A and B are shown apart, each in its own frame.
Chain A
């Protein structure tokens, strides 16, 4: 959000002072023009937004638009089946100049600082002063006499003065500040603000500083500083926009001493780098400055003049007009597209066959200047129209197409989209479209995070009605069917687990009443001894060195000495992705983490230091080696050379969709509440899901797990993405492989209401508990609920969240502590992925919670080998000293 500058590298590394926070950390709203400004700039990741307006008769009457519409040829045709005007907003850059001048005022006694700007806009100078003897870089209110008319004091530290044109003909908006150099003022600080866009113009991400006394310490932001150069970047506030124009200017402020060699060198060096030089040497007003001794230093003030280029992003409204008519001669549908956007506009377009709006390339002919783009879309350059500065194209299509999809590419490589989605023009059943369309229009603008999931739900909904109404189902996309089948499978599995167990209420664990007596050490795969402390022995980057096993081996005794009893190693199999979560040949254990022999060595060393080792096993999906005869990748190679029967499938033994990843993505999105963007669907088709209902698959997997136990020496499992298949199978696998400890990753989204996390997360933890239940308690599960609640509780000091309605811990640990593996971060949530990062700076509070509570705590590698290390070690020893185990009664921390 903060204005981004590219000049940080250029800054003096000896900077001592940070800019004053209260000034520079402006309230975010003023930065975010799209939220509080009347000119919507952008929303989300999309540069251009547009207000949904459909047919002409509902277009808000606005004179300019009406005029434009009237000008479009197409709007007058009679045979038009469908017509739509899409108003679009795009960003146009306007360049201008901005100057700072310091000179003597007319009476030659006082001095005058003039700031001017040539760009149109409502410019405000936001400024303050610092006094001699001020120690920090605090701003202060300037004396009354200094304030030009029209100034408004902002709290006790700043003044806002509007820039005005002195006369109508002037190019520059100006503001003049008169001051007396004899005063105690050490420097004038300012930033420039454009009220119209809410943009702030700063100097290197800080305020501009005009020193009036030369001994001031250089914060790196002095205008006309003695280092002899300055770099200014007009960073503006479009959320994802970094201004590329950089201006710099040269010395204009003459100082008595010579610039040092280093300064000059630096100057030369940078001038090569800088993109744009508009340096203007000021007329060297070598006015010798009166040396009016103030307290201790000479004040040698010199006039200067600096000019910088300034770039402002202006939102410009344009219209894209689409009309559909049927050609009476050919019976074809003609889509006529016109826009008044200047410059070369390329329409990136395609057609779709159904509501799923999957892009397809229609049959030729295409308009002139059309190219095929990656077999997915067509690109047509709009041809300029004879009249006005408009351009357009005609697309002739066969009538069976369902809709026409397009986005616009402008000449500056920006894309214009429809609410982060494609523009959509219905071609079929146009007469009844308004209702349908209205529905899509009414989809809330504000909750963007939900739109993706809602989209899926809508697709499912459409499909379901399609199924039951037996409409032309062939046109429904297979993918959506598959996802529905998966959804159905999940629901059925849920229903099954409940019916089967016939437990209608939450299984509340009977906790041992006596705290002092250690429970008899009975090892079960769900809990280990009950005194386990888990270390996640890798992060998302661990594969990079290619010798992680060896690196970890060196740390084995260290990790053990910190008090960890179990270590979770990265997925060991050959994998399509370097991190190991896209397994291919399950029996090939040479991975980016090291060779099978290195792995064995590592496991041996870990055993030697008394730790148990968990293998990360991915049972949900597996990447194929070969394509089947239909070209689908579902024939596996390696020792487990399954054929496509092993793959969960469409009917329903034929599924080649990696639904699990979608679910995971949804979970992540859900947890983010509002930040996620619609992901490209392509990523989700990566690996076939394994059909665990196939006897031979289960048999092979059991054999494989047994082999891992025996061959490698793994003691247990961390089960990847167990949401993807039924917990009952996990039970089967665990009973067959007899692990010492097993924990499953069941990750879905917590409940939120209006973006606020609900206090009651019972349904979330119930889902996890249900899974554990389905495994018959043979596996624990990561306590995602607790992590989520800790996020909110610690980030916002909402400690009331840490107790549920019954006064118990609100996560899984409150219901089934012995099976809850508590954690605050893992390779997905944190590390370099950061899908759902624990609130920064609160990590130790999080560990204090999980390491003093029942459940089996897991500590993330990155935290162990960080500055948290000693604190984590002492928390572990506190846990051990007090004999806290996974079934301990609550220890309520006071204070």
Chain B
């Protein structure tokens, strides 16, 4: 059965009697007054905060349910909020599959999967590396990842695949050798900073549509990769694999590599640098400047921007008052710089959604949480990363709109960060930034999934819990990341506690499923396959 959201009623009151459907495991309170679930706004369906109760009760609105309303579908197919029960994923080790395409720590992962399944975790996230799979251009070796997918399937878990078109330094997972080789002779395929240093962990967004890879454009190469992935993993699609993250840049995130130089320990993260100095980026800037009638502005980036680890006011560009960022030049540059990033995201996400759109897999993209200096007016960290978000301008509108256009969902990392644990001088506010992005996403009806930045951040688990269960809850969270620390006695017990606290029912007896539904459920769950325990 599907639930149609009836447009004609501004307050659809759905009561128990109307929903005899077991499959959806609905359970509503008995008081209808509280059940203003859907409040209709023009051409949209919104859910008020009551939904948290339903989510806890295992309420499931399928996407199909919304799609059954033709008007909504035609207007905003991606904006419907698919409310599932709260789902927790755990990231597998970055090097779960090594460059020789064999599964590393297979036994540990196997044990880990069992432990997670027993804990009630929904699934795992698996980073799939371009550099591991496509060792020769156009030739894909998926064997290691297939083995992992099988393990995950056997463990009865779901799989979220992150397609990584970038490289990792720790553990070291490079780009495909043939790409690196091209980069040696043609360094302009990489981003460059003002000093001309290249960032070689991912391709510059400026080459997306340039045939720099042996006659192919990077987008074409990514397309081949995704299509091969789709056909190879078709048996898992929609069943085991429920989500795919499209790699969009450094660390898979939609951003410029503005902060790739790690801050020295004990120092505050600097503002980062603009990455617009590779020849292709400069070409784009030049074209844009000429088109805007300011050709002189197209010769380079801002001359008065600080360097990577400097504070905003160390130069004039990001100054809170009278900084160049507020000048017409600043607006010109930042508009271009950020729009290039959004265009790049659009290219890759439209590619992904066209490839995976016909599967039941959700496509995600990761947007970074550049929270440093958020309390300044200029938000320099966000600006250098490509988000034209300042005290006076919401830079995430364009981003959210782009995700909405492509029916993709946003993964937001840093849900473990809380303001109180940030260094005071950093003028950072991860919570405010998170709230801003989420509000913007809500506005564009882009669903947000959460991720933590690092396991073991102080107060991280509480913060995650707050984000998952709070006023504006998220329903998918990927916890990073399985490994020695994750299972260590210092960490794992608290994680266990965290998971258990998430799944503790806080339902009033009235909200418990009816007898019938419960019996049905127990039949369903007891047939849960593939849990093999080593009891002995």
Chain A residues proximal to chain B, CB less than 8 Å: 355, 428-433, 435-436, 439, 453, 456-458, 460-462, 464-474, 484-485, 487-489, 491-496, 498-500, 502, 504, 651-653, 663, 666-667, 669-670, 693, 726, 728, 748-749, 766
Other contacts beyond A465-B526, A491-B114, A492-B487: 16, CB < 8 A:
A429-B519, A460-B533, A464-B118, A469-B58, A470-B85, A488-B496, A489-B496, A491-B115, A495-B109, A495-B111, A495-B112, A496-B488, A504-B105, A504-B107, A666-B536, A726-B489
B294 within 8 A of A: no
Cβ B535 vs Cβ A457 within 8 A: yes
B419 within 8 A of A: no
Bitwise, B84-117 to A at CB < 8 A (1) or not (0) is: 0100000001000000000011111101101101
Cβ A670 vs Cβ B536 within 8 A: yes
Cβ A436 vs Cβ B536 within 8 A: no
Q: Once the chains are docked, how many angstroms separate the CA of A436 from the CA of B106?
A: 35
Partner of A488, one of B109, B115, B486, B524: B115
Given A467-B119, A498-B107, A693-B493, decide whether A457 and B505 contact each other with a Cβ distance below 8 A.
no
Partner of A464, one of B58, B487, B531: B531
Cβ B531 vs Cβ A457 within 8 A: yes
Cβ B504 vs Cβ A473 within 8 A: yes
Ranked 4 nearest A-B pairs via Cβ: A429-B519, A465-B525, A498-B108, A467-B120
B443 within 8 A of A: no
Given A464-B531, A488-B118, A498-B107, decide whether A472 and B484 contact each other with a Cβ distance below 8 A.
no
5 A-B contacts (beta carbon < 8 Å): A429-B518, A436-B523, A470-B503, A652-B500, A766-B107
B515 within 8 A of A: yes
Residues of A with C-beta under 8 A to B394? none
B504 CB to nearest A CB, Å: 7
B122 within 8 A of A: yes
Residues of A with C-beta under 8 A to B522? 355, 429, 436, 462, 471
Cβ A474 vs Cβ B515 within 8 A: no
A726 CB to nearest B CB, Å: 6
B327 within 8 A of A: no
Closest to A498 in B: B108
Cβ B118 vs Cβ A460 within 8 A: yes
Given A468-B122, A473-B505, decide whether A491 and B516 contact each other with a Cβ distance below 8 A.
no
B444 within 8 A of A: no
Residues of B with C-beta under 8 A to A473? 503-505
B492 within 8 A of A: yes
Cβ B526 vs Cβ A491 within 8 A: no
Cβ B487 vs Cβ A499 within 8 A: yes
* Chain B facing A: main interface SS: helix
B528 within 8 A of A: yes
Q: Once the chains are docked, how many angstroms separate the CA of A429 from the CA of B492?
A: 38
Cβ A488 vs Cβ B119 within 8 A: yes
Chain B residues proximal to chain A, CB less than 8 Å: 25, 56-58, 85, 93, 104-109, 111-112, 114-115, 117-122, 482-484, 486-489, 492-493, 496-497, 500, 503-505, 507, 512-513, 515-516, 518-528, 531, 533, 535-536
Partner of A461, one of B487, B500, B505, B528: B528
Residues of A with C-beta under 8 A to B516? 429, 431-432
Residues of A with C-beta under 8 A to B521? 469, 471
With most chain B CB atoms within 10 A of its CB, the pick from A458, A484, A669 is: A484
Given A431-B516, A467-B119, A499-B487, decide whether A462 and B525 contact each other with a Cβ distance below 8 A.
yes
Given A469-B525, A471-B521, decide whether A464 and B117 contact each other with a Cβ distance below 8 A.
yes
B155 CB to nearest A CB, Å: 11
Cβ A491 vs Cβ B505 within 8 A: no
Closest to B121 in A: A468
Closest to A434 in B: B523
Partner of A465, one of B119, B500, B528: B528
Q: Once the chains are docked, how many angstroms separate the CA of A66 from the CA of B268?
A: 85
B50 CB to nearest A CB, Å: 17
Cβ A457 vs Cβ B533 within 8 A: yes
Cβ A468 vs Cβ B120 within 8 A: yes
Q: Once the chains are docked, how many angstroms separate the CA of A469 from the CA of B526?
A: 12
Closest to B108 in A: A498
Residues of B with C-beta under 8 A to A666? 535-536
Closest to A427 in B: B515
Residues of A with C-beta under 8 A to B112? 491-492, 495
Q: Once the chains are docked, how many angstroms separate the CA of A498 from the CA of B121?
A: 21
Q: Once the chains are docked, how many angstroms separate the CA of A473 from the CA of B93?
A: 31
Residues of B with C-beta under 8 A to A484? 118
Cβ A462 vs Cβ B526 within 8 A: yes
Partner of A467, one of B503, B523, B524, B533: B503
Residues of B with C-beta under 8 A to A432? 516, 519-520, 523
Residues of B with C-beta under 8 A to A496? 108, 484, 487-489, 492
Q: Once the chains are docked, how many angstroms separate the CA of A174 from the CA of B115?
A: 68
A577 CB to nearest B CB, Å: 23
Q: Once the chains are docked, how many angstroms separate the CA of A372 from the CA of B528?
A: 39
Q: Once the chains are docked, how many angstroms separate the CA of A493 from the CA of B107?
A: 12
Given A464-B531, A470-B57, decide whether A667 and B536 contact each other with a Cβ distance below 8 A.
yes
Residues of A with C-beta under 8 A to B115? 487-488, 491-492, 495
Given A432-B519, A462-B525, A491-B114, decide whether A472 and B531 contact each other with a Cβ distance below 8 A.
no
Q: Once the chains are docked, how many angstroms separate the CA of A41 from the CA of B493?
A: 50
Q: Once the chains are docked, how many angstroms separate the CA of A693 from the CA of B526?
A: 34
A238 CB to nearest B CB, Å: 31
Cβ A464 vs Cβ B120 within 8 A: yes
Residues of B with C-beta under 8 A to A430? 519
Q: Once the chains are docked, how many angstroms separate the CA of A462 from the CA of B108?
A: 25
Residues of A with C-beta under 8 A to B93? 499
B85 CB to nearest A CB, Å: 7
Closest to B496 in A: A652
Residues of B with C-beta under 8 A to A498? 105, 107-108, 111
Cβ B536 vs Cβ A748 within 8 A: yes
Closest to B122 in A: A468
Q: Once the chains are docked, how many angstroms separate the CA of A499 from the CA of B507?
A: 39
Q: Once the chains are docked, how many angstroms separate the CA of A488 from the CA of B112?
A: 9
Q: Once the chains are docked, how many angstroms separate the CA of A483 from the CA of B84?
A: 29
With most chain A CB atoms within 10 A of its CB, the pick from B107, B526, B536 is: B536
Residues of B with C-beta under 8 A to A460? 118, 531, 533
Residues of A with C-beta under 8 A to B524? 465
Cβ B515 vs Cβ A749 within 8 A: no
Q: Once the chains are docked, how many angstroms separate the CA of A133 from the CA of B453?
A: 95
Cβ A436 vs Cβ B493 within 8 A: no
Q: Once the chains are docked, how many angstroms separate the CA of A670 from the CA of B533?
A: 13
Cβ B518 vs Cβ A471 within 8 A: yes
B29 CB to nearest A CB, Å: 15
Q: Once the chains are docked, how many angstroms separate the CA of A26 from the CA of B109?
A: 53
Residues of A with C-beta under 8 A to B486? 499
Partner of B108, one of A428, A495, A663, A693: A495
Q: Once the chains are docked, how many angstroms separate the CA of A491 from the CA of B513?
A: 33
Q: Once the chains are docked, how many angstroms separate the CA of A429 from the CA of B112?
A: 35
Q: Once the chains are docked, how many angstroms separate the CA of A456 from the CA of B531?
A: 12
With most chain B CB atoms within 10 A of its CB, the pick from A487, A663, A666 is: A487
B260 CB to nearest A CB, Å: 27
A397 CB to nearest B CB, Å: 14
Q: Once the chains are docked, how many angstroms separate the CA of A460 from the CA of B122?
A: 16
Cβ B497 vs Cβ A652 within 8 A: yes
B202 CB to nearest A CB, Å: 27
Partner of A458, one of B114, B492, B504, B526: B526
Q: Once the chains are docked, how many angstroms separate the CA of A653 from the CA of B58?
A: 28
Residues of A with C-beta under 8 A to B25? 469
Residues of B with C-beta under 8 A to A433? 519
Closest to B493 in A: A652
